[in-house]
Structure 1
Amino acid sequence: MGGVLHTKTSLDVSFVIAKNALAAKYKWAVNTLKKPVLTINWLYQCCNEHRIVPQESFRVVPVSGLTICVTRIPSDERKKIENLITENGGHYSAELTRKCTHLICDISFYGA
């Protein structure tokens, strides 16, 4: 399709393909380049349609790839947090397991 693949970091890119927000490429693209980060599905869709398709629905969102659990938070707030996590590409876990990448808790409970 006429694109150029850069396998190493380069400032001369229009966008970055990354699996999720945990990828080093994601952090580099967001913090350093300020460029859109897209899933590989965007590239496949462009190939299928033989054109550059809109990027919005293929963006890697801030918590994609994260599995987040919450503790010591009231149930009404917990539900809001769960919705925010899933709306932004993450997975909510009702239980803290080894698969959890992040834990959100109310630190005031611990006297901080």
Structure 2
Amino acid sequence: MIFSTTDTIPGEEIATICGVVSGNVVQSKHIGRDFMAGLKSLVGGEIRGYTEMLTDARNIAIQRMVADANEKGADAIVGIRFTTSAIMDGSSEILVFGTAVKLAPR
């Protein structure tokens, strides 16, 4: 599956739009990560535990979006965008969405 933040795929022609696809995940903080983040905030710098958590959550959301596109029979997803939101104290959602398309045969 090809997926891109651009509205086209270089060298490919979009034949059909299959529809909007999305994937999301709600991730909560881990007490151990929170404790370490609190310590890190005293000295500054990257909070790697949170970076890893968000990277994992983003990858899960992408996998779910790709599965949605596969169910629609798509070859690619264009115009991908990411958004985040706070769901409740201590958790947030990562949502990824785009347009599933079928590519013209070569």
Q: TM-score interval w.r.t. the shorter chain?
A: under 0.3
TM-score normalized by the length of structure 1: 0.24
The structure with higher relative contact order (CA 8 Å, sep 6+) is 2
TM-score normalized by the length of structure 2: 0.25
Q: Which structure: greater strand fraction? A: 2
